[in-house]
């Protein structure tokens, strides 16, 4: 079985030495793909200037019985597996290393990600502790855990600003990693301010790949889609994450997102080379893989996504754009969260606790003639504050 | 007056209250004062704080996170991260996922350890991390602060009692886990305890699930289905070959599933399986 796997996978992937020429499936792999087609259709796309061809469904190898799920992924034809230095404090890389030490390394496309040291999580800016030396130390730890001399793709992880994308120490570290042969390609991962990061990645002119959050629920999805297009034109390869938009619409996880539809929505964008869902069950993997049979959304799937968007639209998504806009200095995002607790989660007690903690009294807008807060989702913020702040006067015994 | 309150409640619709106290109990701790700039993260935006690792936390029913800086009179700084999960089992689950096998545990809360100047511990439904800042607190001071935080959460914090069901002999230290979701890759097979063993017969992983008999049958039926094993679920021990997990021994008794994974010779560990109480 293992030998057979090795042979199969070797035929699927080929990367040119420079990564510049467009590598494609080699002759043997076409035959393999044809044979597989009878069972399951696999769609391949090229990862930008790397020239690497990958199935549009890859795998974030980080949850549940991942070892067994990765084995199933290998069996099904998934080539790209994504881990990170920080996942499970390194245990995830160890697990990935354990699996791929028994595989032909060149048959797979393994990525890991390293967060710069001394990154301010609020601002996304890097401090003096973000050095190339420290980054390289972490990379060496990752390679040791992975039992590999080289990863295929090394990401600068969790970047949300232009400054961090272009940070000289990080650029130096990434270039060094490539020069020393510790990675074939370099990339950047972003889940916030993605358009800014993508533009900066183009400007930096050293990145090969962008791993970006991308899903049907993002408010700025049109802007992001346009930026992905621009990046792809410039030769960047794009990998999508957070494609399932959290998996559930509600905190209690009783209203699941139609994950198949969500994945199709992302993969309909042909500038996305592949996606990395984090599977936890075999049937999830089967379902995600099955989107390649037909990427077109059915009418019901369109409806499901529309419903999910509307559901999200009822509540604040904590973009923080309104911070500081209130003339009375009210903590608007927190009050909007209390509103969501009340009407979305039906958890009035938690809402009241939050309001009390923020010092919000009943009807704090009463003395204002006009509201200076402008919500990007066009919420009637003052009305919602008036509504939810009534909780301040409701005794605990009535809600607990 | 009461009528007004009742009206309010009707307006807010019928509610199920599952509130945890907001951690005002953490405001001032043993000479350490919480600073004003507190950050709150919910399941919706945890990603903004810990990026892709958030999926893992969400799998363990993460509820909310407060990130708060504290200063003492000497001006030293620490940052407290309070990850609250749905219940102590889930908190144990995420804590044990991040606990290194080589950790030297400390008596902080139910259990804790210090790594690279950061304290990690489990206390009730909280998984807590305390990072030293600048200027840094001495190690003992960090430890004292950690213990005080734990005391604010639970007076007698304990590890899950279920762990005692596993036999002690041969058990690998720090290897106990709580698998929150989709054990054996079966959707809904949630809440399984596992532990590694090393004996003269080799190594293996034992697992144990307690639940309703109907659930046990359902999980096993679906697992059998994936293996294309056609038999009906009965009270017995099964030796199975899983294409992705290797040899799997599963024993089903009403409301209880136990088994052996990750062993090339599970039959050699049968005694261990018998010892699960």
Indicate which of A281, A288, A399 best probes the interface with B, i.e. most B CBs within 10 Å of its own CB: A281
CB contact under 8 A, A393 and B8: yes
**Diameter of chain A measured on Cα atoms:** 76
Please state, in angstroms and rounded to a whole number, the distance separating the CA atoms of residues B79 and A113.
25
Same-domain check for residues A245 and A341: no
CB contact under 8 A, A284 and B187: yes
Examine the pLDDT at A5 and tell me if it is beyond 50: no
pLDDT score recorded for residue A317: 66
Examine the pLDDT at A19 and tell me if it is beyond 60: no
Closest of A399, A381, A248 to residue A315, by C-alpha:
A381
Side-chain half-sphere CA neighbours of A96 within 13 A: 30
Q: What are phi and psi of B50, to 5 degrees?
A: -120, 15
pLDDT score recorded for residue A351: 83
CATH number at residue A179: 3.20.20.100
Structural domain boundaries in chain B: 13-153, 161-275
Q: Out of B6, B42, B50, whose CB is closest to A337?
A: B42
* Model confidence band, residue A27 (pLDDT cutoffs 50, 70, 90): very low
Based on the structure, what is the number of domains in chain A?
A: 2
Closest of A262, A256, A258, A286 to residue A275, by C-alpha:
A262
Cβ-Cβ contacts under 8 Å for B184 (sequence gap 6 or more): A65, A68, B219, B223, B242, B245, B248
Q: Tell me, which fold does domain B13-153 have in CATH?
A: Protein Transport Mog1p; Chain A (3.40.1000)
pLDDT score recorded for residue B139: 93
Examine the pLDDT at B18 and tell me if it is beyond 60: no
Same-domain check for residues A269 and A393: no
CB contact under 8 A, B13 and A337: no
The mean pLDDT value for A190-201 works out to 95
Q: Is A158 an interface residue toward B (CB < 8 Å)?
A: yes
Nearest residue of chain A to residue B45 (CA atoms):
A318
The mean pLDDT value for B212-222 works out to 95
Which residues in chain B are contacts of A123 at CB distance < 8 A?
none
pLDDT score recorded for residue B271: 92
Q: Which of A168-182, A347-361, B122-136 has the lowest mean pLDDT?
A: A347-361
Q: Identify whether A320 is part of a domain.
A: no
**Domain range enclosing A353:** 332-398
Same-domain check for residues A336 and A276: no
- Please state the ipTM of this predicted complex: 0.79
pLDDT score recorded for residue A203: 98
Q: To which H or E segment does residue A236 belong? A: none
Transcribe chain B into DSSP letters.
Answer: -HHHHHHHHHHT------PPPPGGGGSEETTEEE-S--EEE-TTTTHHHHGGGHHHHHHTTEEEEEEEEEE-TT--EEEEEEEEESSHHHHHHHHHHHS-TT--EE-STTEEEEETTEEEEEETTEEEEEEE-SSPPPHHHHHHHHHHHHHHH-TT----GGGGGS-STTBPTT--EEE-S-GGG-TT---EEEEEEEETTEEEEEEEEE--HHHHHHHHHHHHHHTT--PPP-SEEEEEEETTTEEEEEEEETTEEEEEES-S-GGGGHHHHHH--
The mean pLDDT value for A316-320 works out to 69
Q: Is A354 an interface residue toward B (CB < 8 Å)?
A: yes
Q: Which residue has the tokens 């949300």?
A: A160
Please state, in angstroms and rounded to a whole number, the distance separating the CA atoms of residues B148 and B154.
10
**Of the residues A270, A305, A340, which one is the last residue of a structural domain?**
A305
Q: Identify whether A324 is part of a domain.
A: no
Tell me which of 3.30.200, 3.40.50, 1.10.150, 1.10.760 is the CATH number of domain B161-275: 3.30.200
Same-domain check for residues A46 and A178: yes
Q: What are phi and psi of A17, to 5 degrees?
A: -60, -40
Q: Is A192 an interface residue toward B (CB < 8 Å)?
A: yes
CB contact under 8 A, B15 and A347: yes
Q: Identify whether A314 is part of a domain.
A: no
Side-chain half-sphere CA neighbours of A52 within 13 A: 30
For residue A23, count other CB atoms closer than 10 A to its CB: 18
Same-domain check for residues A297 and A337: no
CB contact under 8 A, A393 and B22: no
* Model confidence band, residue B10 (pLDDT cutoffs 50, 70, 90): very low
Same-domain check for residues A157 and A13: yes
The mean pLDDT value for B100-129 works out to 95
Contacts of B17-21 with CB under 8 Å at 24 or more apart are: B17/A347, B17/A348, B17/A349, B17/A399, B17/A400, B18/A347, B18/A349, B18/A350, B19/A347, B19/A349, B19/A350, B19/A353, B19/A400, B20/A350, B20/B63, B20/B84, B20/B125, B21/A353
* Domains B13-153 and B161-275 equal at CATH topology level: no
| Best mean pLDDT range from A57-71, A183-197, A252-266, A331-345 | A183-197
Same-domain check for residues A261 and A374: no
Q: Which residue has the tokens 């209390």?
A: A338
Evaluate whether A169 touches A137 at the Cβ level (below 8 Å). Answer: no
Q: Identify whether A102 is part of a domain.
A: yes
Between residues B102 and B13, the one the model is more confident about? B102
């Amino acid at each position: 079985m293992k030998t057979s796997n090795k042979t199969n996978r070797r035929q699927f992937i080929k990367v040119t030495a420079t990564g510049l020429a467009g590598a494609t499936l080699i002759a043997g792999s076409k035959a393999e793909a044809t044979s597989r087609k009878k069972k399951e259709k696999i769609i391949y796309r090229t990862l930008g200037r790397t020239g690497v061809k990958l199935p549009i469904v890859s795998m974030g190898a980080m949850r549940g019985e991942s070892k067994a799920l990765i084995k199933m992924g290998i069996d099904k034809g998934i080539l790209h597996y994504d881990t990170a230095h920080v996942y499970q404090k390194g245990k995830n890389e160890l697990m990935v290393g354990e699996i791929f030490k028994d595989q032909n390394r060149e048959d797979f496309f393994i990525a890991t990600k390293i967060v710069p040291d001394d990154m301010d999580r609020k601002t996304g800016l890097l401090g003096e502790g973000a050095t190339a030396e420290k980054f390289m130390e972490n990379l060496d730890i990752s390679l040791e855990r992975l039992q590999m001399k080289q990863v295929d793709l090394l990401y600068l992880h969790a970047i949300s600003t232009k400054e961090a994308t272009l940070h000289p120490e990080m650029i130096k570290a990434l270039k060094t990693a490539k020069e020393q042969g510790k990675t074939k390609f370099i990339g950047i991962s972003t889940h916030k301010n993605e358009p800014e990061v993508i533009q900066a990645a183009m400007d930096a002119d050293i990145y090969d790949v962008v791993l970006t959050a991308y899903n049907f629920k993002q408010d700025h999805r049109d802007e992001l889609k346009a930026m992905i297009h621009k990046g792809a034109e410039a030769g960047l390869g794009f990998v999508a994450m957070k494609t399932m938009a959290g998996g559930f619409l509600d905190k209690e996880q009783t209203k699941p997102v139609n994950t198949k539809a969500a994945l199709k929505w992302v993969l309909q964008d042909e500038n996305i080379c592949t996606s990395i869902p984090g599977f936890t069950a075999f049937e999830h993997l089967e379902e995600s893989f099955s989107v390649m049979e037909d990427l077109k959304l059915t009418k019901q799937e369109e409806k499901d996504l529309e419903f999910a968007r509307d559901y999200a639209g009822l509540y604040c998504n904590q973009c923080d754009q309104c911070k500081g806009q209130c003339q009375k200095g009210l903590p608007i995002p927190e009050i909007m969260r209390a509103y969501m607790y009340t009407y979305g989660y039906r958890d009035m007690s938690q809402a009241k606790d939050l309001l009390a903690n923020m010092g919000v009294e009943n009807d704090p807008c009463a003395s204002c003639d006009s509201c200076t807060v402008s919500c990007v989702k066009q919420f009637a913020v003052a009305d919602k504050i008036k509504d939810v702040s009534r909780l301040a006067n409701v005794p605990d015994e009535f809600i607990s | 007056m009461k009528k007004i309150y009742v009206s309010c409640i009707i307006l807010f619709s019928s509610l199920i209250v599952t509130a945890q106290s907001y951690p005002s109990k953490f405001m001032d701790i043993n000479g350490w004062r919480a600073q004003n700039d507190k950050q709150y993260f919910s399941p919706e935006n945890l990603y903004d704080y810990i990026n892709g690792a958030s999926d893992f936390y969400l799998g363990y029913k993460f509820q909310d996170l407060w990130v708060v800086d504290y200063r003492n009179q000497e001006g030293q700084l620490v940052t407290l991260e309070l990850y609250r999960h749905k219940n102590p089992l889930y908190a144990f689950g995420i804590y044990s996922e991040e606990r290194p096998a080589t950790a030297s545990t400390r008596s902080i809360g139910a259990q804790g350890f210090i790594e690279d100047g950061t304290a990690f511990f489990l206390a009730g439904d909280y998984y807590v991390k305390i990072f030293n800042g600048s200027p840094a607190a001495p190690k003992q001071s960090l430890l004292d602060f950690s213990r005080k935080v734990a005391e604010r959460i639970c007076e007698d914090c304990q590890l899950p009692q279920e762990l005692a069901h596993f036999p002690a002999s041969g058990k690998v230290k720090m290897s106990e886990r709580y698998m929150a979701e989709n054990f054996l890759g079966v959707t809904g097979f949630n809440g399984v305890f596992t532990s590694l063993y090393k004996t003269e017969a080799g190594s293996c992983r034992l697992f144990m699930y307690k639940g309703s008999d109907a659930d046990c049958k359902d999980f096993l039926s679906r697992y059998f289905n994936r293996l294309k094993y056609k038999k009906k679920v009965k009270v017995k021990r099964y030796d199975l070959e899983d294409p992705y997990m290797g040899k799997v021994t599963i024993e089903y008794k009403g409301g209880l599933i136990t088994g052996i994974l990750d062993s090339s010779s599970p039959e050699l560990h049968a005694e261990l399986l018998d010892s699960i109480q």
